[in-house]
A and B are shown apart, each in its own frame.
Chain A
């Protein structure tokens, strides 16, 4: 087993609605090694968002423990969670969430505004090159295609040199040809050692993953290898 960057142990998240307790996640345990590519799949309401929330340090579990890059997340203060997120995680969203008045370069640069270390300024050109947007660097999001916008979002996720990329339905808004190119970009990043965790409904994307975590009603329905998933998709 490779060095674990994520170690989830009996993660439980309970939301309270009146006197009712709602289990968004129940006893979810898994480990993701450094450089692994994991896909989280499952129907709507299965707990994917909650899990992504916890893995992204945007929320803390009610019970259980989550170690991220060796640091126990549970019990950390908001300030420490922000620091942990800045230094370890890059987010990619289905709807890109680019700021329309900022150029490609400025959108990619945006996380540096919040990162007090601010030491990655020189990386911007490299990242623009990695995501293949050299000729579009000074364009506004409104002048880009959907695929290009997602590349900008990926560039933005990479700027702080994170250890993990968390992507929430990154191809949900793209046509299949564009989605394929975004897969390839993710695969390239993963092959360079970046840990990838992608929430997706797209079985094509999930089949490229080393590990697939299938959620149902807040619990892990099964953990399967991509090979297994491929067989399931074909059957």
Chain B
């Protein structure tokens, strides 16, 4: 027998209370892990999403606020347009590798929003070299063809070769390709040749944005300034887009963090209260242990081991909770923040798991140290006799 087995056996004596305390810790750790995991996943996924666009700069119509520019990458539609001539101007600027015009259009089907991208396929494939397709990409000169994202194909049960009525006039369009899963917003979109999109949505010569990749990223600010010399063009860099989105979600995150901090404080106080009750109930037992040779340090160590057991087991269970419930939590949080990237935001990051386990150990120390000190200072015989008289 050693201190650990003795501590475990002691915890089994009060199964109900031990389980409830472990449950309390589990909830605190689950909440913490979910928040941190969501937070780091959000930034990582957002940054990944922006990277995956292969774009350094978005040229948008003048007067288009950053928020609207942020929405563009999510498929949002703004009521201002650039023209094809702006694209030609942009392409003349030195240092631009690709300048790809896009027209975005949104329509609703069965109350669900659908996003259509009119694109220049050759430019787009240069921007997104990783795109792979089942079937084939369309050529820029084809008419009434489209490529769709993988999630869209699955949700709508569409396959290569299907023909579907499309646009305000319900023109039959053939799906020539379905993108292999990218894990980004692209999985949800319809892609059409730009001029076809302009025609069927009645936006001839109009484009929503020009996606630009530069040859040398150190030249982004120089090129941005040159772009802004084009009348009607306003420039938004991806860094600004990311900052804008992070600001948009910032207040929602602050609220979440506040709620979580309060939840953790309540949980810690609850655990400490339970441990103090347990120590008070065992006054005579600790007195006996001192009488048979335990030092104050031994008693304190026993109480601390018991506490750490509770909090570490609670921590592990909390991590399992959040792993199992990550879908629910993610769905809930995505519902209350204004913008969220596609893909799974909460992923099991080993560093974060370690951090949460460390947190549960710290809770153990914080909650256990006071009861441990109290129990170690008990005067043995009074403790024993107090039970008798």
Contacts and interface: CB of A to CB of B under 8 A. Distances in A.
Given A97-B284, A99-B9, A99-B285, A111 B381 contact: no
B381 A53 contact: yes
A113 B291 contact: no
Nearest to B291: A91
A151 interface: no
Nearest to B6: A113
B16 to A, nearest CB: 15
Given A95-B388, A101-B12, A101-B13, A114 B293 contact: yes
A168 B287 CA distance: 13
Most A C-beta atoms less than 10 A away, residue of B293, B295, B384, B385: B293
A129 interface: no
Interface stretch (A66-74, A79-87, A217-225): A79-87
Contacts of B287: 97
B288 interface: yes
B203 interface: no
B385 A82 contact: no
B12 A58 contact: no
A102 B9 contact: yes
B379 to A, nearest CB: 7
B377 to A, nearest CB: 10
B293 A82 contact: yes
Interface string B1-31: 1110010011011000000000000000000
A101 B14 CA distance: 10
A93 to B, nearest CB: 6
Interface string A49-89: 10011001011000000000000000000110010011000
A104 to B, nearest CB: 13
A79 B288 contact: no
A58 B291 contact: yes
B1 A110 contact: yes
Contacts of A168: 384
A58 B9 contact: no
Contacts of B291: 56, 58, 85, 91, 93
B379 A58 contact: yes
A109 B1 CA distance: 8
Nearest to A50: B381
B1 A93 contact: no
Nearest to A49: B385
B388 to A, nearest CB: 6
Taking chain B's interface residues, is the majority helix, strand, or loop, or is none over half, making it mixed?
Answer: helix
B13 A44 contact: no
A82 B295 contact: yes
Interface string B352-387: 000000000000000000000000000111001101
Interface residues of B, number: 29
Contact of B13 (A94, A100, A157): A100
A49 B292 CA distance: 16
Interface string B289-316: 1111111101000000000000000000
B292 A157 contact: yes
Given A91-B292, A111-B292, A106 B381 contact: no
Nearest to A172: B388
A114 B298 contact: yes
Contacts of B385: 49
Contacts of B156: none
A34 interface: no
A85 B380 CA distance: 12
A160 B387 contact: no
Contact of A58 (B298, B380, B387, B388): B380
B389 interface: yes
Interface in A122-176: 156-157, 160, 168
14 contacts: A44-B389, A49-B385, A53-B380, A58-B381, A59-B379, A85-B291, A91-B288, A93-B291, A95-B387, A99-B6, A99-B10, A101-B12, A101-B13, A168-B384
Interface of A: 44, 49, 52-53, 56, 58-59, 78-79, 82, 85-86, 90-91, 93-95, 97, 99-102, 106, 109-115, 156-157, 160, 168
Given A97-B288, A114-B289, 14 more contacts: A49-B381, A58-B381, A59-B379, A82-B294, A85-B293, A91-B291, A95-B284, A95-B387, A97-B287, A99-B6, A102-B1, A110-B289, A111-B293, A114-B298
